[in-house]
Amino acid sequence: MRTNTISIRAAMSCVPLLLLPLLSACCAQSGVTVDKRVSPEPALHAAALPTTVHAGAWRAPVLAKPEREFGDGFYGLGYSLPPGTVIRAAASGVVVYAGRGLGGFRHLVIVKSGDHHLVAYSVNVAPMLREGDDIEQGDTVARTTGDPTGTEFRLEVRDRGKPVDPRLLIREAT
């Protein structure tokens, strides 16, 4: 019989610490329990960059400057984009989750890239991907709309469950 349990380490690979109570509530509604025995790992900064991906190996998902940077409890990059902006895959991989978002976003897409990385795209517009889709770097994830909340976008990266500053992996946009 298959058990429906998710570890806190797996949960942290997808969502920030502040959202774990929400994740637990969502899981409980679906009959999935959350194993809280493993504490989350600290964020990775430049000095602790893992060697599994070299700096600049990924592309920028949008050609815009983030309005909110990694750090001070914020584990990603936050953008407010013009309507019609295409959000592209920063790295190639397989979509492991595409569904209801967490933390104020309507939709969340999580891509497993390589053996150790998860890339989360939080958007307020319907993504153009489904679970199980193979995507290549540069493929379209979503397109912003004219809806006032349809222009918000957040990018997060986890390496073995640890938050990583996406700027360490993304090459300069040209």
Domain assignment present for 119: yes
Whether residue 9 is found in the same domain as residue 48:
no
**155, 70: one domain:** yes
pLDDT in tens, the chain (174 residues): 434 344 434 444 444 443 444 444 444 544 545 444 433 444 444 444 444 556 668 999 999 999 999 998 889 999 989 888 999 999 999 999 988 876 666 888 999 999 889 999 988 777 788 999 999 999 999 888 877 666 888 999 999 989 999 999 987 654
Q: How many domains does the chain have?
A: 2
Q: Please check whether residue 153 is in contact with residue 87, taking contact to mean a CB–CB distance below 8 angstroms.
A: yes
**Are 87 and 143 within 8 A, CB to CB?**
yes
Distances (CA, A) of 169 to 56, 63, 93, 122: 5, 15, 15, 18
Give strand pairing partners of 132: none
For residues 110 and 129, membership in a common domain is answered with yes
Q: Is residue 174 part of a domain?
A: no
CA-to-CA distance for 107 and 126, rounded, in angstroms? Answer: 6
9 and 46 assigned to the same domain: no
My answer on whether 8 and 65 are in the same domain is: no
88 contact partners, CB below 8 Å, separation of at least 6:
59, 61, 62, 137, 138, 139, 140, 141
**The pTM is what?**
0.69
Q: What DSSP letter does each residue of 47-115 carry, written as one string?
A: GG--TTS-TT-BPPSSSS--SB-SBTTB-SEEEE--TTPEEE-SS-EEEEEEEE-STT-SEEEEEEETT
What domain range is 144 assigned to? Answer: 41-168
Tell me if 49 sits within 8 A of 58, measured CB to CB.
no
Burial of 121 (0-12, 13-18, 19+ CB in 10 A): buried
Give dist(CA 165, CA 77) in Å, integer. Answer: 8
Q: What is the CATH number of the domain that holds 91?
A: 2.70.70.10
91 and 5 share one domain: no
Contact (CB, 8 A) for 89 and 135? yes
